[in-house]
Copies of this chain bind each other. A is one copy, B any other.
């Protein structure tokens, strides 16, 4: 059984895994806000437990078991976030910190019951996919708003970043998942976009924001 600490390491490794599925020790240490030697020693111990493949000076890879364990923690995290938003009426900007703790609760039935009460959701409040009970995850293929063309109609489907500040920015603009946008224009100088949506006839979004908004193209 993984400790909370180990679970957080596995989760970071899973989330950091890029195309190669490889992660540098430095990235891992930075993401968990621990020193390099701390990450180094934990990685060795995760290897002993069979969750990580590690060779001196080489990048890290999760084993099959490690990936599954990580995915199941992410499942608990995202189900919790959905539960907090849908059942307990939290805002999407308030749920991450609580979920960061509740994901470590060992009580299968607790999460099964959440899942059931929520009607077996497939995405969390930020549009990220919820791994299934076997740890399988269906990656969603949305487009960054930044890639959309003027004149297109799109619907906000997910975010590539769910920091509290970003979520509060979206709240301030009344942007939420499902919001339908029309792209009015794109400024070629700074890649900012002018969009319109319900009660907002013209809103300018910076490139940074447009990169972080994932949309479903409607036409």
Cα distance, A116 to B113, chains bound together (Å): 20
Most B Cβ at <10 Å: residue of A90, A107, A117: A107
B107 engages A97 (CB within 8 Å): yes
Q: Report A107 CB to chain B, min CB distance, Å.
A: 5
Contact of A106 with B by CB under 8 A: yes
Number of copies: 2
Residues of chain A at interface, number, CB under 8 A: 18
Q: Which residues of B contact A87 (CB under 8 A)?
A: 87
Contact of A120 with B by CB under 8 A: no
Contact of A105 with B by CB under 8 A: yes
Q: Report A38 CB to chain B, min CB distance, Å.
A: 19
Q: Which residues of B contact A101 (CB under 8 A)?
A: 105-107
Contact among B88, B105, B109, B114 for A102, CB-based, below 8 A: B105
A113 engages B98 (CB within 8 Å): no
Q: Which residues of B contact A117 (CB under 8 A)?
A: 88
Contact among B98, B113, B114 for A110, CB-based, below 8 A: B98
Contact of A94 with B by CB under 8 A: yes
Contact of A33 with B by CB under 8 A: no
